[in-house]
Amino acid sequence: MTASGTFGYGTEYSHLFDIQKLGAIVCKGTTLEPREGNPQPRVAETACGVLNSIGLQNIGVKALIEEKAPLWASWRVPVIVNIAGETVDDYSQLAGELDGVAGVSAIEVNISCPNIRAGGAEFGASPKSAARVTTAVKAATSLPILVKLTPNTSDIAEVAMAVAEAGADAISLINTLKGIAIDVTKRRPLLGSISGGLSGPAIKPVALYMVYEVAGAVEVPVIGCGGITTASDAIEFIMAGASAIQVGTASFTNPRAPLDVLEGIEKFMKKEGIEDITKLIGIARL
């Protein structure tokens, strides 16, 4: 799969390679109303990664349903809509509006968003608020729901167990890690909104650790994400217990990265004489 926010609505990449060959496309985080996002600068390169503070710039759910979904409905590749809100009601309303829309195959719930009714703490930081969002979304839609966890919490396995209990059909992880960069000449934070989210190869060992932890704690499928750039990276996540993977930041340097990773996995399987990928899921777990 592609990781949300790094592959637009799929259409932006469709002239570069055959996106229909991918397992799924996860679109940019979608909110009830259109958003312009955070002030510039919003992206800064770091050693082995990227800091971003896009601030959920998106066209809003109404435009998504009217302008994007009809095209997705004609695609072979399933499209998963990533949703984001500031209140539990936002999430359930979004899920309700997307329910039954042709071209939308599933919902990925981004719980790395600040809960404005609870002092701005991320929904995903606590098992309780993460479960509350999951329950609300599940009640509002018949679509399968993936809940996407934040690494910015003290015990990610506890959050995972809570959202699985609340009805998540799958769990994706991880979202970005909080970070800051300083412009030493200006003596100011480099990003317009001060802090941002770190992604890319720099976070891979953290993501892999969290996938290992979560896969050992829940029965639902786990989707690994964080710094996956090559097929070998992806296979590490699968061996740690992921049933599927997402490619994000790697697409910025190589737009074909999601398909390269997929083809690389197939090559590895052929070389190793493995016919069924499920044989590899969690194989490295002790």
Ligand X SMILES: Cc1cc2nc3c(=O)[nH]c(=O)nc-3n(C[C@H](O)[C@H](O)[C@H](O)COP(=O)(O)O)c2cc1C
- The site for ligand X (CB under 6 A) is made up of 3-6, 28-29, 50, 52, 54, 56, 82, 110, 148, 175-176, 199-200, 203, 225-228, 247-250
Provide the β-strand partners of residue 26: 80
Q: Which is nearer to ligand X, 43 or 121 (CB)?
A: 43
Q: Which is nearer to ligand X, 95 or 250 (CB)?
A: 250
The yes-or-no answer on residue 113 being catalytic is yes
Contact 30, 94 (CB under 8 A): yes
Cα angle 194, 200, 202 (rounded to 5 degrees) comes to: 85
Alpha-carbon distance 160 to 164, whole Å?
6
CB atoms within 10 A of CB 239: 17
Q: Which is nearer to ligand X, 5 or 85 (CB)?
A: 5
Residue of closest CB approach to ligand X = 5
Beta-strand ranges (E) seen in the chain are 25-26, 43-46, 49-52, 79-83, 106-110, 145-148, 170-173, 177-180, 182-183, 188-189, 195-199, 222-225, 244-246
Cβ 114 to ligand X, closest distance in Å? Answer: 13
Helix axes of 127-140 and 156-165: crossing angle, nearest 10 degrees: 30
Cβ 10 to ligand X, closest distance in Å? Answer: 14
**List 27, 48, 113, 225, catalytic entry:** 113
Q: Which is nearer to ligand X, 6 or 243 (CB)?
A: 6
Cβ 28 to ligand X, closest distance in Å? Answer: 5
Sign of torsion over alpha carbons 159, 201, 41, 19? negative
Q: Which is nearer to ligand X, 50 or 265 (CB)?
A: 50
Beta-strand ranges (E) seen in 16-169 are 25-26, 43-46, 49-52, 79-83, 106-110, 145-148
Cβ 1 to ligand X, closest distance in Å? Answer: 10
Cβ 163 to ligand X, closest distance in Å? Answer: 14
- List the catalytic residues: 113
